[in-house]
Amino acid sequence: MGYRAMQLTCYCGQPPERILEVGFTSGRHMVVHFWCATCSRVVFISQSLDKCEQGCPPPDEQAETQSAAEDARFLQSIGIAVGDDQTGMNFRCTLPGTRCQSCLSPVCTLPSSYT
């Protein structure tokens, strides 16, 4: 997941040392509240969610594809086969007798139609 850092500054031009709160208004604005140690001001910065969305970076398709491949390898390593359906989320248990090592309960129980 990529992100772009918000550039917050006080009226005096200095960045905050720490952010006190982040919240949302009923008018669909994000509000950031911080204290400026340089000029001793309490600062509230408000921005519409539409404006926030415009500042979002584009999706990183390569990273998402790589992450999905790593997830599939991990799931296969613990006995879960990843199928190719329309959503790409068709998981099925390949080891129906697998049990949790802590409590010995079944990790995956198959419906009777699969056994």
Letter string b/e over residues 28-64, b meaning 16 or more CB atoms within 10 A of that residue's CB: ebbebebebeeeeeebebeeeeeeeeeeeeeeeeeee
Where exactly are the structural domains of the chain? Answer: 1-58, 61-114
In contact, 97 and 110? CB cutoff 8 Å: no
- Per residue in 12-41, pLDDT tens? 999 998 899 999 999 999 999 999 999 999
**pTM, full prediction:** 0.50
Q: Which helix (H) or strand (E) holds 19?
A: strand 19-24
- Indicate if the pLDDT at residue 76 is higher than 60: yes
**85 vs 59, which has greater pLDDT?**
59
Q: What is the end-to-end Cα distance of the chain in Å, rounded?
A: 39
Look-up: residue for tokens 């000029």?
39
